Structure 1
Amino acid sequence: MIVLGEGSIPSIAQRGDYAIVAITKHGVELGRKLQSTFSHADLYYMSKFQRGDEESRGIQLFEGSVRLLFPALFPAYKGLIIIISLGAVIRMIAPLLEDKKKDPGIVVIDDKGEHVISVLSGHLGGANELTREVAAALGARPVITTASDVQGTIAVDLFGRRFGWEWESADKLTPVSASVVNEEQVAVVQESGETGWWLFDTPMPANIRVYSSAAEALAARPHAALIVTHRVLTAAEEALLANGVLYRPKAIALGIGCNRGTSAEEIEAVIDSTLAELSFSLRSVKAACTIDLKKDEPGLLAVVDKYGWEFVTYSPEQLNEVPMDAPSDTVHRFTGAYGVSEPAAKLYSGASKLALVKKKSGNVTISVGVIEFN
């Protein structure tokens, strides 16, 4: 039993990603139904509605003002599904709001379960998608008011998110979003990354045009730009960021060979200097690839872990099947492969021509490939 009182944050037992909250008889019925559908959701309701099966179902009961429950739920869950009137919810959560990048998605359901409303963090917090899922589960009507969703166009703050793209310049998210929904001319510059980002069945709006290079987009003089590239922009190209957002796709594969016992600091320094020479962004690295003899190399593992990159190893036989520009008998003598960094980068990226075939620096050999997406 959770007893809610002023001046302290209650202790909750979080199990799922989402919390369902109800305070009325009908709301409890809806909440119990939803919990059966959403196995990844925790249900909270007032103790006066207890049925006796709450403990076995993992339902948490509370006494006191529900307002005092939200300070505990806000930081714990990805989203809150609240079966309380919209006005009351707004008043209760208002003091807890911080930033759309941090706040959980908030979904409100009316007491009869007829409407499911996306209230807060529709895009970044996932409330819009959660609204659709909850509405489908209840046979209710989803209510979503985000302009990009209503108009069927690009949601700038979600662009490429499902592929792992990262913002590098997010301060223009709001004005660029305004250009998109106000049907001003918007350039999408895509030099790398996944191409299947248009999610609607309808054609792309006429105000959005895709360019293969920043130079082409600059010549078109758009009102706004969404730039998807692994490259560091030149000074001239940065003019697009006056009203633009720069996205970093996961598009770089690093092939790495190193002597046994090479430190993480040395490996990282070589990676940093190499990408700087190529004018490539570290934030676009997707994977580090090597021979399976190095699968337990401490320095290499430390760097991969630091950045959260994929770590892929190949057998000598796999590496030897790849055409190489610079095969090495010396490497073959020690590893059984005629090369490590070059064929590893080619295997992962799918590129026949690498951005950097091979560079030897101290104890590290590195190759760089840009991943080819269809």
Structure 2
Amino acid sequence: MKIAIISVSNKGQELAYDLKDLLDLDSTIIRCDLYHKNVKKYFPILFYEYDAIIAIMASGILVRSIAPLVESKVTDPAVINIDDNGQFVISTLSGHLGGANELANKVAGLIDATPVITTSTDVNKKLGIDVLANDLYLSIDNTKEILFFNKAILDGREISFTVNPNKNFEYLFEYLNNVTLEINVSIYYSSKVNEDEIHVSLDEHEMTLKERKIVAGIGCRRGKECKFIYGGLKKSLDDLKIMPSRVNMLTSAEIKKDERGILELSEKLNIPVSFVEIDKLKLFESSDVAKSEFVYSKFGIYGVCEPSALIMAGFDSKLIYKKTSYDGVTIAIAVSK
């Protein structure tokens, strides 16, 4: 998640600096930038350049600033509002699909504040269908049906999930078993359903949840054993709260194509691995990729795990886990649009 923090007062700016320092330590936060004052100038830019906006200001200023920019729960960024004293963290816009509710809880924990969540499913301890999709990195084909299904969940009605019997949906079952929010679901199997899809239905209403492609990029020292690479990957996935079975592909640079530890990991997890050509890595450009002079001095490229993950996740993909080191292993994770 790329986050912009914008403040208007000196006290708010001090809180912004402190919060940025804390968020920069989080591998799921890809970038965190600070802005101060000039809200009329900055908000139209931030709204389209960032996944989330943290506004440290009075709620009236925030509402008037974003009102002309709001378009859709599918495309609007997450917006949370914090008072100058850091007492309350309010999820204001895109609570589910944008991740504002989750971010509000995270930020509140970091600054010892009270999170304020107002979405109906959350306050009634129910699992919204859009929350499930967001948590599991699934796209929704018919977002107009979200309201119907969430109302049905609130009413305690049973909804149907239909999946392909040949696909490993362990991540879905584990999620449903462990989630603390309530949802009444029956699981059905049909070979007519695509392997990367979950069909949701109730009465005459239907929607399709489709897996966005999750790619784990791996870098490692020569000869690193599989168990150590797996350990780094598992820690990264735990931070994202997703299971290995949700990962669609492992990847690295072609200089690692004979790296036994990576090949063994692919076999162990039954996840395909693909190696990216050096020339593609040399040409790849992204402001979100960390550049390593050490890697460049050895291989002529500035990075392995981050650019490999982004390339294999496809055009317009984004990092959801920045390069993180685990004793000779580096992991980065990207997801398709």
If the length of structure 2 is used for normalisation, what is the TM-score? 0.54
Alignment match, 1:152: 125
Query: Structure 2: which amino acid aligns with 1:137?
Result: L
Alignment match, 1:198: 176
Alignment match, 2:15: 30
Distance 1:211 1:17, change over 3 A: closer
Q: Secondary structure at the match of 2:105?
A: helix
Q: Please, which runs of 5 or more residues in structure 2 have no aligned partner? A: 25-30, 214-245, 258-270, 276-337
Report deviation, 1:68.
2.2
1:209 counterpart (164, 185, 192): 185
Distance 1:184 1:201, change over 3 A: closer
Report deviation, 1:286.
4.9
May I ask how many residue pairs the two structures share in their alignment?
A: 215
Indicate whether 1:248 and 2:210 are aligned: yes
Query: Structure 2: which amino acid aligns with 1:230?
Result: E
Indicate whether 1:21 and 2:10 are aligned: no
Contact in 2 for aligned 1:228/1:246 (Cα 8 Å): no
Higher RCO (C-alpha under 8 Å, 6+ residues apart): 2
CA distance in 1, matches of 2:200, 2:107: 42
Kindly name which structure, 1 or 2, has the bigger radius of gyration based on alpha carbons.
1
Q: Deviation string for 1:6-56 (max 9, x for gaps)?
A: xxxxxxxxxx8111111112211211211211223111124xxxxxxxxxx
2:75 counterpart (89, 102, 107): 102
Of all paired residues, the percent bearing the same amino acid is 29
Contact in 2 for aligned 1:250/1:285 (Cα 8 Å): no
Distance 1:138 1:169, change over 3 A: same
Q: Deviation string for 1:185-222 (max 9, x for gaps)?
A: 333344453322227554845xx13233479xxxxxxx
Indicate whether 1:121 and 2:94 are aligned: yes
Alignment match, 2:85: 112
Alignment match, 2:116: 143
Query: Structure 2: which amino acid aligns with 1:42?
Result: D
**Which residues in structure 2 correspond to 1:1-374 (within 5 Å)?**
17-39=2-24, 40-46=31-37, 65-191=38-164, 192=167, 193=169, 194=171, 195-198=173-176, 202=180, 204-205=182-183, 208-213=184-189, 230=195, 240=202, 242-249=204-211, 286=248, 312=274
Contact in 1 for aligned 2:159/2:200 (Cα 8 Å): no
Query: Structure 2: which amino acid aligns with 1:22?
Result: S
Distance 1:214 1:185, change over 3 A: farther
Q: Alpha carbon RMSD of aligned pairs, Å? A: 3.8
Report deviation, 1:137.
1.2
CA distance in 2, matches of 1:25, 1:92: 19
Q: Deviation string for 1:147-186 (max 9, x for gaps)?
A: 2222232221132444443334433122111111232333
CA distance in 1, matches of 2:68, 2:81: 17
Report deviation, 1:242.
2.2
Q: Secondary structure at the match of 1:28?
A: helix
Query: Structure 2: which amino acid aligns with 1:131?
Result: A
Contact in 2 for aligned 1:230/1:249 (Cα 8 Å): no
If the length of structure 1 is used for normalisation, what is the TM-score? 0.49
Q: Please, which runs of 5 or more residues in structure 1 have no aligned partner? A: 1-15, 47-64, 216-226, 252-283, 296-308, 314-374
CA distance in 2, matches of 1:169, 1:42: 33
Q: Secondary structure at the match of 1:37?
A: helix
